[in-house]
């Protein structure tokens, strides 16, 4: 191997090296990885719902998300779901923020109350 070729390989290696210092890269536990993956999933779903990217999921965006996934005969059923899902605060803001969505999602997964508003996170509940 010629000296110049070796130098080239070293510089390629240098370019591929992570820029984050080793001390800043944390060792993550399986629970931590699951938590990060779940958070990424929830955040990605929220971004998909927030079509105009204004940081709020409005009733129109909720409707659109529902009708692209489930067959709906009457849009009123979807609107009723949205109105059951959101709080007064959400309505004052004009929709669901990411933080609120994360909260609702945690209720969706962990709350065993069948009347919990978060049951409407994915749309109307089939009768």
Residues within the interface to Ca ion (CB under 5 A): 50, 52, 54, 56
Q: Least CB distance from residue 32 to Ca ion, whole Å?
A: 30
Q: Least CB distance from residue 35 to Ca ion, whole Å?
A: 26
Nearer to Ca ion, 55 or 84 (CB): 55
Nearer to Ca ion, 56 or 118 (CB): 56
Q: Cα–Cα distance between 46 and 61 in angstroms, integer? A: 11
Nearer to Ca ion, 8 or 69 (CB): 69
Alpha-helical (H) ranges within the chain are: 3-16, 30-49, 59-69, 75-85, 88-93, 98-110
| Main-chain dihedrals φ then ψ at residue 57, nearest 5 degrees | -95, 110
Q: Least CB distance from residue 72 to Ca ion, whole Å?
A: 20
Question: What residue has token string 């109105």?
Answer: 83
């Amino acid at each position: 191997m010629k000296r110049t070729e070796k130098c080239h390989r070293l510089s390629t290696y240098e370019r591929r090296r992570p820029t984050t210092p080793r001390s800043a890269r944390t060792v993550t536990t399986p629970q931590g990885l699951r938590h990060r993956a779940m958070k990424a999933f929830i955040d990605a779903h929220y971004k998909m719902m927030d079509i105009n990217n204004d940081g709020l999921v409005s009733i129109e965006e909720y409707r659109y998300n529902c009708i692209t996934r489930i067959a709906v005969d009457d849009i009123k059923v979807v609107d009723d779901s949205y109105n059951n899902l959101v709080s007064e605060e959400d309505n004052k803001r004009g929709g669901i923020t990411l933080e609120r969505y994360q909260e609702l999602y945690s209720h969706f997964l962990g709350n065993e109350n069948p009347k919990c508003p978060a049951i409407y996170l994915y749309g109307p509940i089939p009768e």
